[in-house]
Amino acid sequence: MKKDLLSIHDLSREEIELILERSSDLKRKRKEGVSYQPLKGKCLGMIFEKSSTRTRVSFEVGIYQLGGYALFLSHRDIQLGRGETIADTAQVLSRYIDGIMIRTYRQSDVEELAAVADIPVINGLTDLLHPCQVLADLFTVQERFGSFAGLKVAYVGDGNNMANSWLYAAAKLGLAISIGCPPGYEPDDGVLLEAREDARGSGARIVVTHDPVEAVTDAQVIITDVWASMGQEEEHEKRLRDFAGYQVNTVLAGHADPSYLFMHCLPAHRGEEVAAEVIDGPHSIVVDEAENRLHTQKAVMELLMAAS
**CA dihedral of 45, 51, 57, 61, whole degrees rounded to 10:** 0
- 113, 121 in Cβ contact below 8 A? yes
| CB 276, CB 302: distance < 8 Å | no
* DSSP-derived 3-state class of residue 121: strand
297 is catalytic: no
132 is known as an active-site residue: no
**Which of the residues 9, 265, 283, 295 is marked catalytic?**
265
Catalytic residue among 22, 56, 130, 239: 130
Strand partners, 195: none
Is 130 annotated as catalytic?
A: yes
| Cβ 223 vs Cβ 268: under 8 Å | no
Q: Give the number of C-alpha atoms closer than 13 A to the C-alpha of residue 295, restricted to the C-beta side.
A: 24
**Residue 163 · residue 226 · CB < 8 Å:** no
Distance from C-alpha of 134 to C-alpha of 154, rounded to nearest angstrom: 14
Burial 22-56 (b: 16+ CB within 10 A, else e): bbbbbbeebeeeeeeebbeebbbbbbbbbebebbb
**Residue 304, exposed/middle/buried by CB under 10 A (0-12, 13-18, 19+)?**
buried
Question: Among this protein's residues, is 28 annotated catalytic?
Answer: no
Is 103 annotated as catalytic?
yes
Which residues neighbour 171 within 8 Å (Cβ) at sequence distance 6 or greater?
194, 195, 196, 197, 198, 199, 202, 204, 206
158 flagged as catalytic: no
Please give the backbone phi and psi of residue 146, each rounded to the nearest 5 degrees, phi first.
85, -35
Q: Which residues are known catalytic residues?
A: 103, 130, 133, 225, 265, 293
